[in-house]
Structure 1
């Protein structure tokens, strides 16, 4: 393998700002802060707005928008008059 073409992967702690969920993985993301882990390690900290622990799709709290009269039905109702006028 060529030297100097691979990124510098290191362990980074990612934290979900909405619920405080933390996980450690290897990444090359740039960080400015450090965090002290429960096991005594000090790792770079990367803050995230949403993770799989808080995103509605993964938590099962996602709401269906198209229930009882979805977008297609609204479109058809809105433009039914125009289609009938053209056919005459």
Structure 2
């Protein structure tokens, strides 16, 4: 592996302010702000708008799509097929 071709890969804290959640991972992202982590080290911190703690899909607050209602509405609007009719 060539040494000068790859970006600096280092520990970074990503913080979701909406959920009050932060996690430490490795990334190439840079930041001037730092945060003191639980292990006593200081790491760069990057604020994100949404994470798995606040995303509706992962929190279970996603809106369910009513497929049966959509089909019934389509058939009412465009005249659904009659099951007893010959084709």
TM-score, normalised to structure 1, is 0.73
Per-residue CA distance 1:28-85 (angstroms, 9 max, x = gap): 0121211111221100001111111111101111112446633x665665566xxxxx
Structure in which a larger fraction of residues adopt helix: 1
* Equivalent-residue separation in structure 2 for 1:77 and 1:34 (angstroms): 59
How many corresponding residue pairs? 81
Aligned to 2:14: 14
Q: State the SS of the aligned residue for 1:43.
A: strand
Gaps in structure 2 of 5+ consecutive residues:
80-87
Unmatched 5+ stretches in structure 1: 81-88
SS at match of 1:13: strand
RMSD: 2.3
Aligned to 2:84: none
Normalising by structure 2, what TM-score? 0.74
